[in-house]
Amino acid sequence: MSLFRIEGLVKRFGGLLATDHVDLTVEQGEVHALIGPNGAGKTTLVNLISGLLPPDAGRLLIDERDITALPAHQRVGAGLSRCFQVTRVFARETVHDNLMLAVQAHAGSSMRFLAARSGERALVEQAEALAERVGLSAERDRIAGTLPHGAQRALDVALALAAKPRLLLLDEPMAGMGPDESARMVALIASLRSEMAILLIEHDMDAVFRLANRLTVLVQGRVLMTGTADEVRGHPDVQAVYLGTEAEGHS
């Protein structure tokens, strides 16, 4: 049984078929990369998965539970959490306060039974553990907006982790990063795979081939193929369609 399954998903923008009957599964413990040229429909697919956009047809299932009709916040409760192509940290708050807001937002019923002080203590501990998890402990009291780009993206990942996701959606986490920042993000993503499945959209093919167990190639809204890195690399259609257009530029 797959952790996550998409069946026959369709999204139209006027006359444009941005998501064209997409089928896809993500297995437990898998880093599944979603690649494809600019405009292939990758972000649209993530928006459909996270509930930001309603599909025109098709189904989304977590553990065989149909979540197609659930609003975005209830999908988070069902185990989905995402990072955005554009970072959404509160730039004027400290790293710690950003994390506190995130852990408070996801503090479940367990917290309700704790006395106020031990509840607060538990939240602080969770926020500190998340900072540690993404390598930001030393920046605890720094204003988030003053962090380097790579550290802001790491904070964004930590905010998504506050929801304790079973499936983490990452939309171009390496975008705009230098080689050192990219390497740190690759290591962070690799360290998460034992705890959750990850759907990774990324143009940095070195990072994709290093991290992904399987890849799905999306072209003009359609799944061209799903396979291992070797299968994708060796597929003539992928070389023609994807790698051929990749030279035109990244977003």
Ligand X SMILES: Nc1ncnc2c1ncn2[C@@H]1O[C@H](COP(=O)(O)OP(=O)(O)OP(=O)(O)O)[C@@H](O)[C@H]1O
Enumerate binding residues for Mg ion (CB under 5 A).
42-43
Q: Is the backbone of residue 91 left (phi > 0), alpha (psi -120 to 50) or beta?
A: alpha
| 10 bridge partner residues | 57
Instruction: Give 123 or 201: the residue with its C-beta nearer to ligand X.
Output: 201
Binding positions for ligand X, rule: CB under 6 A: 13, 16, 18, 36, 38-44, 251
Give whole-number Cα distances, 76 to 5, 52, 126, 140, 237, in Å.
16, 12, 18, 26, 36
One-letter amino acid at 230 equals D
In whole angstroms, what is the distance from residue 85 CA to residue 212 CA? 19
Least distance (Å) from Mg ion to the CB of residue 35?
Answer: 11
Instruction: Give 16 or 229: the residue with its C-beta nearer to ligand X.
Output: 16
Least distance (Å) from Mg ion to the CB of residue 42?
Answer: 5
Least distance (Å) from Mg ion to the CB of residue 230?
Answer: 26
Residue 38 near which of ligand X, Mg ion, none (CB within 5-8 Å, type-dependent): ligand X
Instruction: Give 42 or 96: the residue with its C-beta nearer to Mg ion.
Output: 42
Instruction: Give 82 or 166: the residue with its C-beta nearer to ligand X.
Output: 82
In whole angstroms, what is the distance from residue 62 CA to residue 202 CA? 23
E strands along 118-202, which residues? 167-171, 197-201
Residue 44 near which of Mg ion, ligand X, none (CB within 5-8 Å, type-dependent): ligand X
Are 153 and 117 in contact, with CB atoms under 8 Å apart? no
Structure tokens given for 12: 């139209």
Instruction: Give 123 or 221: the residue with its C-beta nearer to ligand X.
Output: 221
Least distance (Å) from Mg ion to the CB of residue 171?
Answer: 6
Please identify the residue of the shown chain whose CB is closest to the bound Mg ion. 43
